[in-house]
Amino acid sequence: MDYRKYGDTIYIRMDKGDEIIGGIQEVCKNEKILSAVFSGIGGCSEAQIQTFLPETGTFETRTLCGMLELASLTGNMISDENNVLYHHTHAVFSYKDGEQHCLAAGHMKSITVLYTAEIELRPVIGGTIHRQSDPETGTGFWSFL
């Protein structure tokens, strides 16, 4: 992984074997970013896609493997009162299953790069978006302090 900051935006290049969400968190820690939004594209080898099941308060996870085109990645990174970072990431992948072209999308747990991924990270300027726990769902939402 390598990255550069130009103006208020950070451009991240992920390399083969890098885990995208962990890499974005690492850049945020290195740059002391407590809240940001990000987007990206790339070629991946594995993706763990989750679906939230409200009736149980849990996530169902599906793992995709193979040549996965990361057609769209979008998400945010926010922090709690102890500055621990949390991500909320969604992605769309295209891939082949035999002769069939397929799509898979959803909430992401992890994404591993096959050959490269290009991520644009935009820190929140002039404030911080924090994470507030929601006891009803067991998840966290944006909190503006």
**Mean per-residue pLDDT, 95-111:** 96
Stretch 106-123: mean pLDDT, rounded? Answer: 97
How many structural domains compose the chain?
1
C-alpha 55, offset from chain centre: 24
| pLDDT band at residue 58 under the 50/70/90 scheme | confident
pTM listed for this prediction: 0.92
- Could you tell me if residue 131 is left (phi over 0), alpha (psi between -120 and 50 degrees) or otherwise beta? beta
Task: Output the domain CATH number for residue 53.
Answer: 3.30.1330.80
The pLDDT assigned to 27 comes to 98
Q: How far is CA 96 from CA 48, 65, 66, 68, 92, in A?
A: 17, 11, 9, 8, 14
Alpha-carbon span 57 to 114, nearest angstrom:
32
Instruction: Tell me which residue range forms the domain holding 6.
Output: 2-144
Residue 65, pLDDT above cutoff 80: yes
Q: CA-to-CA distance for 2 and 57, rounded, in angstroms?
A: 36
pLDDT digits over 85-98, tens only?
999 999 999 999 99
